[in-house]
Structure 1
Amino acid sequence: MFGEKMTSVGKKLIRRRVVDLSSEDTRFARCLSTLDLIALGVGSTLGAGVYVLAGEVAKEMAGPSIVLCFLVAALSSVLAGLCYAEFGARVPKTGSAYLYSYVTVGEIWAFTTGWNLILSYVIALLAFGVSESALVNNIFTVVNLMVLVFVIIAGFVKGDIKNWQLSEEDYINRSHLEPLDDTKEKAFGSGGFVPFGLEGILTGAATCFYAFVGFDCIATTGEEARNPQRSIPIGIIVSLLICFVAYFGVSAALTLMVPYFLLNKDSPLPEAFKEVSWEPARYAVAVGSLCALSTSLLGSMFPMPRVIYAMAEDGLLFKSLSSINSHTKTPLSATITSGLLAAVMAFLFDLKDLVDLMSIGTLLAYSLVAVCVLILRYQSGQLNSPKTMEMLELNGNEEERVIMNPTVTSASAQQKEMLTLAMLFNPPADTPTTLSGRIVYICVSVIAALIMVICVVLTLKVTALKDANVGWITALVLLFVALLIPTIIIWRQPQSNARLNFKVPFLPLLPIFSIFINVLLMVQLSGGTWVRFAIWMGVGFMIYFGYGIRNSVEGKNAEERCARVEKPLGHPGLDPSPGAAAV
């Protein structure tokens, strides 16, 4: 009896969402163009951080090589952005990474992702109608970009390339100090373009990575974009490219105008213009930072109510949060709840704690999206209408079921499909099958576990690795070899030939590398952050197991379908593999 109950609970935890893509009906207003999405992504990503972050990283971590920090951070963000773009083309519905996880890896992971996205978006409150918000956001984003273009041009005009070639003598003369002691040398480094070495670039890149957080808000607009399958991928990639160019240009201009060790980390740009005797330019910077703050707040609060709405609509959060205001066509209850939650969190934690919590939630969501892309690309299932599949089960013959849904294979085909060692590296089929999908699912699980172990070793045993400790180096090499084996197995499996407007290139390497970077950054966070994160997740799981698991709309729909569709004994049924996210 106990075993049956545990089995039942386990099935509920991994049940996957049925997504109906046969209809474009939505309770939201479809009013956002591709340009609106690009402006939303740029506005939420290119926030006030561009006016502060560059100074802090350049002065304390990287010097002029901050431009390389932003390059590394941009590459890391693009990896996550590509994964978001494919899912935006595949599942153009409200919910972002939450929905992506729901249709791929199951309900408990979807709740975990959505709960962490809520944590990531806890910043402020804004409840405009979508079209009005888009207009305000577009105006502020244009003003912000114009100010940044002015800063970049002014920096290159007034800058001096010698500030990228500073020596110890320059430091002493410009700072009016005595010869360097240990403390002063720590502030100056070794001079030149890379004063703090490769370690400084990597440390700076880890900080600069968070400057690119925000583009994922585009993925939550699936039901408000006019043409989501085209607009979402374009919006994500173009907005990341614009943000990288802006960050790169501003940081280059800043370090050309002022020696990095003289930067004011709290107000770098106004003080830089003062240094080069262009004090009136400070007013332009003030206008730009105000617009940047406004668009950043909008970009952060735009997706949060929509994630809450999507979870409430699915029954995982309280149903009252899924109401849509008839006038603004926005989830007003979810927006108000978001604001109250933000106020409580702001009261309980200081800014640094909130930023760290935001980082861990965002990185976890990015990792799960990469996992979902990796799994779903190698599955045979397609996202079909639940009504279509039900009618097919009731009235279709076996041949029709196989044609309409590749995960439903004939009994004879299933009997022939046997797992062998040769099949792992040389599968016989050119298209995904149930077995190949299961192989990929297991390999991805193994890869995720190995990446976590590797990242912990790289973080906790970095001193031993620098000292060339033979034992730890050998262990790390063995772990990478073990990681290579399931990667090769996935690479050899057949991919889905479903036609999409955008697909992630270089599978399986790109999503795996994205997971690795995200987990490595998560491991860098402090123990206190992990404790606060555990408390947040504990509260979330109390809500899920106390309310969500019993009120899940997907669970009720599955029960209704089972009641209406009587399957004869021995019927192969629907594929329970991850790819049937779909069915």
Structure 2
Amino acid sequence: MSLLSKVNRKTSLSKFIDRDENLKRTIDTKDLIMMGIGAVIGTGIFILPGTVAATTAGPGIILSFVLATIVCSLCAMCYAEFSSALPIAGSAYSFGNVIFGELTGWVIGWGLILEYMLSVATVSSGWSAYLQSFLRSFGIVIPKAISANYNPSKGTYVDVIAILIVVFISWILTNNVKSSTKLNDIMVLVKIAIIIIFVVAGIFFVKPGNWNPFLPFGVHGIFKGSSLVFFAYLGFDVIASSAGEVKKPERTMPIGIIGTLLICTVLYILVSIVLTGIVPYTDLNVSDPVTYALQVIHLDKLSVLISLGALAGMFTMMINMIYSSSRLIYSIGRDGLLPQKLSKINKKNNVPKRSIIFVTIIIAFMGGLVSLDKLASLVNIGTLIAFTFMSIGIIPLRKRKDINNSNGFKVPFYPILPIVSALACIYLLTQLSLETWLTAIVWFIIGLVIYFGYGIKHSRTNNEK
């Protein structure tokens, strides 16, 4: 078999389903929606509506979220169809492998590894900073040497809290998927309750005059604002990684993905309406706009709740991203492109324990020791590349006679919506900085070296007759 034939060889859906037979289907629709909200709604809901309104869109931030939702919905529908048609673990990596071939699947998976692990490492550092700030309000101070990542010039060497929270979440995930989803459900409900408390308390202090002018930056501000808040929705795609553990995936996956997006949109818009109504948009360019707004209306004590909401938001995001990271590594190991030991399922509780330990070590190292400020934007590029392939991929998916999705979800207005979705993602990719692109190119070169140096030789697809 030639090299070109090997890298473009597609794995059949039936083989993926057989390889995933040890995964237990325990996740239902409610758990899936909670998982999605947990991944999407983080600290961003307490920050983005204020800062983007102040600098880019004004009160028109409300329309920016609506526009971003429309664009994101296109991608979400594509993911919903893929998840319905291909109920296998691995999200866009596995989908790409089936539809485009092994090399394309690997490139998508390598980009998702960057997205998932880097985002968790970044958030673990943020969670540590928030918790330390919260503890200081009670007079509890963490020793400086272990309070932040390695930076001897500032007297910090390791962020112990960032490491411990990642290890704790991984311990939960290695014990039982169902118990971790229950904890996630509780934390998500806490987070939603805090958001609703802010909206209900703040609505009595809204001054309609603060919404005038509604479009101080013009229509252009709405579009620019939508490109910024689009990234507030990133995370719904992690739902697709659980397709191998979901009950009735052809029905549950579409409801979970689209339901997540709708609920998150309502929450973002409500916060935006109340926030820009309480305080003039020009005053919201601060690091904590929601807390600032509460201080303006003399509800300072509620800011403690906002801190708890932020901690809960980051906690659920880490649970779902670590879960998704482990399933992605499991899937790549399952196919032989990484050591197959990473795909071993723990017989006691049907979880890929080794893949969880693997991602825990990497994430804990990055979150506890490495400064991630300049690398955070790489999360966006890995996500948008996957979104682009999933959007385009609907067209060859529909043409596959060996994949039956007659009873599952299908993207409406085919093929127009998938094409529009792909073009929207490509447009957003062009908005990323040159520095981000150059760093990403280095990352993907490393990925290709690993694939051609190890993966192609150990690929189960290429070694199976």
How far 1:229 moved relative to its partner? 1.5
Contact 2:329 2:342 in 1 (8 A): yes
How far 1:340 moved relative to its partner? 2.8
Alignment of 1:99-114 (within 5 A): 99-114=94-109
How far 1:284 moved relative to its partner? 2.1
**Corresponding residue of 1:217:** 238
Letter in 1 for 2:205: K
* Cα gap change, 1:52 to 1:534, in 2 (>3 Å): same
Alignment of 1:390-539 (within 5 A): 498-539=405-446
Please point out which of 148, 151, 169 is paired with 2:195.
Answer: 148
4+ residue segments displaced more than 3 Å: 21-25, 343-352
Q: Deviations over 1:463-522 (max 9, x none)?
A: xxxxxxxxxxxxxxxxxxxxxxxxxxxxxxxxxxx5132100011111111111111111
**Corresponding residue of 1:28:** 23
Please point out which of 348, 351, 360 is paired with 2:381.
Answer: 360
Q: Secondary structure at the match of 2:247?
A: coil
**Corresponding residue of 1:164:** 211
Distance in 1 (alpha carbons) for counterparts of 2:438 and 2:53: 31
Distance in 2 (alpha carbons) for counterparts of 1:291 and 1:78: 25
Letter in 2 for 1:34: T
How far 1:109 moved relative to its partner? 0.3
Alignment of 1:71-86 (within 5 A): 71-86=66-81
1:383 aligns with 2:378: no
Please point out which of 186, 201, 214 is paired with 1:193.
Answer: 214
1:331 aligns with 2:386: no
Distance in 2 (alpha carbons) for counterparts of 1:346 and 1:274: 32
Q: Secondary structure at the match of 2:406?
A: coil
How far 1:198 moved relative to its partner? 2.1
**Corresponding residue of 2:274:** 253
**Corresponding residue of 1:541:** 448
**Corresponding residue of 1:19:** 13
Q: Which runs of 5+ in 2 are unaligned?
A: 122-165
**Structure with bigger gyration radius:** 1
Contact 1:264 1:271 in 2 (8 A): no
Letter in 2 for 1:549: I
How far 1:374 moved relative to its partner? 1.6
Q: Secondary structure at the match of 2:402?
A: coil
Letter in 2 for 1:556: N
Q: Deviations over 1:97-126 (max 9, x none)?
A: 111111111111000001111100012443
Letter in 1 for 2:426: V
Contact 1:48 1:296 in 2 (8 A): no
Distance in 2 (alpha carbons) for counterparts of 1:137 and 1:62: 33
Distance in 2 (alpha carbons) for counterparts of 1:291 and 1:346: 18
Distance in 1 (alpha carbons) for counterparts of 2:395 and 2:372: 35
Q: Secondary structure at the match of 1:353?
A: coil
Contact 2:55 2:285 in 1 (8 A): no
Contact 2:83 2:249 in 1 (8 A): yes
Letter in 2 for 1:201: I
Give me the TM-score of the superposition, normalised by structure 2. Answer: 0.85
Q: Which runs of 5+ in 1 are unaligned?
A: 1-6, 166-191, 385-497, 561-583
Q: Deviations over 1:226-276 (max 9, x none)?
A: 221111110000000000000000011100000111125211111101101
**Corresponding residue of 1:10:** 4
**Corresponding residue of 1:119:** 114
Contact 1:18 1:383 in 2 (8 A): no
1:374 aligns with 2:395: yes
Distance in 1 (alpha carbons) for counterparts of 2:339 and 2:329: 9
Distance in 2 (alpha carbons) for counterparts of 1:224 and 1:62: 41
Distance in 1 (alpha carbons) for counterparts of 2:44 and 2:345: 33
How far 1:133 moved relative to its partner? 1.1
Distance in 1 (alpha carbons) for counterparts of 2:461 and 2:317: 34
Please point out which of 63, 68, 71 is paired with 1:68.
Answer: 63
How far 1:92 moved relative to its partner? 0.4
Letter in 2 for 1:101: G
Distance in 2 (alpha carbons) for counterparts of 1:349 and 1:362: 22
Contact 1:155 1:257 in 2 (8 A): yes
Q: How many residues are paired up?
A: 412
Ranked by relative contact order (alpha carbons within 8 Å, sequence separation 6 or more), the top structure is 2
Q: Which moved more, 1:117-126 or 1:213-222?
A: 117-126
Letter in 2 for 1:139: I
How far 1:347 moved relative to its partner? 7.2
**Corresponding residue of 1:449:** none
**Corresponding residue of 1:230:** 251
How far 1:38 moved relative to its partner? 0.3
Q: Deviations over 1:46-69 (max 9, x none)?
A: 111111122211111111111111
Q: Which moved more, 1:350-359 or 1:235-244?
A: 350-359
* Cα gap change, 1:245 to 1:292, in 2 (>3 Å): same
* Cα gap change, 1:536 to 1:347, in 2 (>3 Å): farther
Distance in 1 (alpha carbons) for counterparts of 2:450 and 2:369: 20
